[in-house]
Every structure is written in structure tokens, then in C-alpha cells.
């Protein structure tokens, strides 16, 4: 586990180590043992509001994971833009319109 500042570098999500001179909101970056770096994940939660007319993805079924496509603004926290469900058949973007 590391404390990092999320950032975008050349169009890709990156994480910069935290020190006293690095401004910005920090997140906990978690990498489970024996997994490659691309499987690292942020430990904090992000609010995502689902319109009242949209079908809720909850509760998730066994073997499903909820994923979020995020944007990383120049300042402020990571912001979720879209949600998807991951299961044995792949990623399925949720239609929340």
C-alpha cells in the first residue's frame, strides 16, 4: 500500500508518490501480492449518482465486480464518469441515461 497523488501522464492514469512538496488530494494505492502493476487499485471510494429512472446494478451477482471509468482533473479528487460490471464474459458498460 502506498499514499499517492493520482495524475494523468501522456493520456494514462499514473500515481505519483506523496511527499511534502507534492500538492493535491491523495489516495491509497493497493497492489495485491503476486499481481502485475496494472492490477493496482485505489482504496478510497468515489460517489457516483445513479439517476432514479436507471436500473440499479445492485446487488451484484457472485463473480461480478463494479468498475468505474474515471477522469483525473488538474486539481481535486478522481471523478467517476461511467460504471461497468465485470464478470466472466468481460466488461459491460452500464446504460444510466
The verdict on 56 and 17 lying in the same domain is no
Q: Which of 26, 44, 62 is the last residue of a domain?
A: 44
Q: How many domains does the chain have?
A: 2
Residue with grid cell 511527499, as numbered in its chain: 19
CA distances from 89 to 36, 64, 71, 82, 94 (A): 21, 10, 25, 19, 15
The verdict on 34 and 60 lying in the same domain is no
The verdict on 21 and 54 lying in the same domain is no
The verdict on 74 and 40 lying in the same domain is no
Q: What cell numbers appear for 33 in the block?
A: 501480492
pTM of the entire structure? Answer: 0.62
> What is residue 10's predicted lDDT score, i.e. its pLDDT?
85
Q: Containing domain of residue 97, as a range?
A: 50-97
d(CA 24, CA 5): 6
Q: Which regions of the chain are under pLDDT 50?
A: none
Amino acid at each position: 500500500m502506498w499514499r499517492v497523488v493520482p495524475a494523468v501522464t501522456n493520456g494514462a492514469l499514473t500515481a505519483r508518490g506523496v511527499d511534502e512538496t507534492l500538492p493535491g488530494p491523495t489516495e491509497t494505492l493497493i497492489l495485491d501480492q503476486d499481481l502485475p502493476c496494472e492490477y493496482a487499485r485505489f482504496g478510497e471510494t468515489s460517489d457516483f449518482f445513479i439517476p432514479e429512472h436507471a436500473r440499479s446494478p445492485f446487488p451484484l451477482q457472485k463473480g461480478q465486480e463494479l468498475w468505474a471509468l474515471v477522469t483525473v482533473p488538474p486539481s481535486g479528487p478522481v471523478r467517476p464518469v461511467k460504471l461497468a460490471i465485470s464478470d466472466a464474459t468481460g466488461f459491460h458498460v452500464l446504460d444510466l441515461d
